[in-house]
Structure 1
Amino acid sequence: MDAPDGTKARRGRKSRAQDPQSLDRELADLPAELRWREWMLRIEAVLFAAASPVGRETLSRVVGKDCSLDLLIDDLQEELRGRPYEIVSVAGGWQHRTRPRYAETVRASQAPTRSASAALSDFEAMVLMAIAYFQPVTRAELSRVFGKEISRDTIASLRNAGFLASGPRSPTPGAPYTYVTTKQFLTAFGMQTLRDLPDIEALEDAGLLSRQAVQTEAVEAGVETDAEGEEP
């Protein structure tokens, strides 16, 4: 039995709305100024709605093929200069974020936020930074860096927060798992790449990290290999 005409029309509208190809990207019927403005609003809408940084390829789907995304982002950043939020370049894309000066205000409100990161203890944060610098690194190597055993619970906490992933097996005896940071780590700490990490020499001068300790550990055979042979 054929569907009523009204039902067919609704289905047709729904199908077109769900088809990305139906979006008029070029906006050729608009004057240049209004076209640019609409592209800006589209980019801001996507960034505002996204739960994680949005890359260039994704944003290019909603603007004209000859549109400069970099210039659009520059204009948006300028327009938001006096607002409590901004568009930042992070983890290989762009993200809509509250400005750091208002972070305490947001925390005081106790309002749930869509971009909240897991709260880390000071020690967990230091372990995470050590992994960022020395990755891929094993738990035994981390234990040598800190002069005390790094527990499986600490690693599990960082993994559950989305900051760590398993790296390649170490070439040391027992082939223990190594750990590496994730894209979520870059996003949470506002970095584009690991090259944005603070200067490691300054941390070594402060006695917080030691590359020599890791190098020594890497050549010593059999340290915690039995415990590290399986992924926690």
Structure 2
Amino acid sequence: MAKDRSEPDLDRELPDLPPELRWREWMRRIEAVLFASASPVPREDLARVVGQGASIDLLVEDLAADLGGRAFEIAQVAGGWMFRTRAIYAPAIRAAADVGGQLLDLSEFDVAVLAAIAYHQPITRDGLKDIFGKEISRDLIGRLHVRELIGTGPRSPRRGAPYTFVTTEQFLVAFGLESLHDLPDREQMEDAGFQREPPQVGVG
């Protein structure tokens, strides 16, 4: 959500409501904000619609419980919260809904390259070549850029220094991660073939 905006004239404290109804109204406000947002909503934004000192974590927890049995749930990803359809309904959605623009449509190798970037970022194309033993095509890198799964990382100030790549917030959202700390254990990835460290990239 946009950070620079004027706050509306909103009664956050709701002093005229009894505690139980006040809490319920705060839950509904959080639900409305998450429903309207196309990206994860951070804690500080949700705090703008509830009373001072109200626990965002408890409100989200109660809202999540309230949604039990529904086709969607609240996910904590990329430093915030958002609504996501439960995975069990993915086949039904693909069968009947127009979600072509939302599908990642990534090959197994695309995902492997994304994983390598996530674990070794910032990394150059040469660094990726060292991991996979072959050149990573500009077309593949371009597809990951277009899907906003990777971005350009820090680059050494020396003339002709190679570009580096890093993962983005959209990467975290797409794979349901709150942060890069939620990536699978490195040993599991090494078992999948990521065993060699790429050369270090100087960015200082």
Aligned equivalents of 1:138, 1:167: Cα separation in 2: 9
Is the helix fraction higher in 1 or 2?
Answer: 1
Q: 1:192 aligns with which of 178, 193, 198?
A: 178
Alignment: residue pair count: 197
| Structure 1 position 201, deviation (Å) | 1.1
The structural deviation recorded for 1:90 is: 0.8
What is the percentage of aligned positions where both structures have the same residue?
A: 57
Segment of structure 1 superposing worse, 197-206 or 67-76: 197-206
Residue 86 of structure 1 contacts residue 99 of structure 1 at CA under 8 Å; is this kept in 2?
yes
Q: Is 1:110 the equivalent of 2:97?
A: yes
**Structure 1 residue aligned with 2:68:** 81
Paired position in structure 2 for 1:37:
24
The residue type paired with residue 42 of structure 1 is: R
Scaled by the length of structure 1, the TM-score of the pair is: 0.79
Measured in 2, the distance between the counterparts of 1:197 and 1:170 equals 27
Partner of 2:194: 209
Residues 1:160 and 2:158 are matched in the alignment: no
Partner of 2:121: 135
Does the Cα contact within 8 Å between 1:131 and 1:180 map onto a contact in 2? yes
Q: Are residue 146 (structure 1) and residue 124 (structure 2) matched?
A: no
Does the 8 A contact of 1:117 with 1:161 survive in 2?
no
1:105-133 deviation per Cα after TM superposition (whole angstroms, max 9, x unaligned):
1111133388x243212211111111001
RMSD: 2.1
Query: Is the 1:138–1:170 contact (alpha carbons within 8 Å) kept by the matching residues of 2?
Result: no
> What are the ranges of 5 or more consecutive residues in structure 2 without an aligned counterpart?
none
Unaligned runs of 5+ in 1: 1-17, 220-232
Q: Residues of 1 paired with 2:160 and 2:186: CA distance?
A: 29
> Partners in 2 of 1:170 and 1:153 — Cα distance?
24
Q: After superposition, what is the alpha-carbon deviation per residue over 1:136-184, rounded to whole angstroms, capped at 9, x for unaligned?
A: 0000110121111101111111001001111112589942111000111
Larger Rg: 1
